[in-house]
Amino acid sequence: MAANQGIYNAFLAIGLIWALTIKDAKWFVNVATCFLLFVAIAGMFGAVTVTSKTLMIQTVPAGIALILLWVGKRLT
Mean pLDDT by runs of 10 across the 76 residues of the chain is 72 91 93 93 88 89 94 80
pTM, full prediction: 0.84
Q: Output 8-16 pairs: Cβ under 8 A, ≥24 positions apart.
A: 8/42, 12/38, 12/39, 12/42
Read off the amino acid at residue 10: A
pLDDT at 1: 55
Residue 74, classified by CB atoms within 10 Å of its CB into exposed (0-12), middle (13-18) or buried (19+), is: exposed
Distance of CA 21 to the CA centre of its chain: 16
- Would you state the pLDDT for residue 65? 94
For residues 60 and 58, what is the distance between their CA atoms, to the nearest angstrom? 6
